[in-house]
Structure 1
């Protein structure tokens, strides 16, 4: 797989995969790429959840929110372990 195609998948995993569990099982991505794709999918799901809660137009016809599925896929992949291995000790983009 080319680097550009991998970047596209990580940036918008829901275009390539129908379900977050498919990210975990794909041989096309490294563990770090899978983690990044699931992080992006989580962010997208959280933004969709907020939009739905705020009654923004168009969200009711959108695909169902897969936040719980994303969290399960992250757990299956052991995302917490990957973050601990890569943790530099400084704050991350969420400020933690």
Structure 2
């Protein structure tokens, strides 16, 4: 069972609670809206990691961006909407 404090933690730092985006999809203690919010945060984190990697700011850590997108697709979630000019980090 996922404690409420772990749910809050997952909303801001998904990888601190879950090992992989598919774990979010499989979690029975979260409703669809919570899963969507966690995966959205994970996508944003993955985008930032990609930018940092491109700029040589990481040790070549593996990005989970593709895995996050697959998990979002499993839940039938829409892509993040962009509200302006595109940037490296996306919406």
Unaligned runs of 5+ in 1: 84-91
Listed as ranges, the gaps of 5+ residues in structure 2 are: 85-91
CA distance in 2, matches of 1:60, 1:5: 28
Alignment of 1:1-96 (within 5 A): 1-56=2-57, 59-60=58-59, 62=61, 64-80=62-78, 94-95=82-83
Q: Which runs of 4+ in 1 moved over 2 A?
A: 1-5
The structure with more helix, counted as a fraction of residues:
1
State the superposition RMSD in angstroms: 2.0
Task: From the CA coordinates, give the structure whose radius of gyration is larger.
Answer: 1
Q: What is the alpha-carbon distance in structure 2 between the residues aligned to residue 49 and residue 61 of structure 1?
A: 9
- Tell me the TM-score normalized by structure 1: 0.75
TM-score normalised to the size of structure 2? 0.79
Distance 1:77 1:9 in 2: 17
Aligned residues: 82
Q: How far is 1:4 from its partner?
A: 3.6
Assess if the C-alpha contact under 8 Å between 2:39 and 2:72 holds in 1. Answer: yes
Structure 1 residues 40-70: Cα deviation after superposition (integer angstroms, max 9, x where no partner): 00000000000000111xx1164x1100000
Write the distance in 1 (CA, Å) between the matches of 2:19 and 2:46. Answer: 14
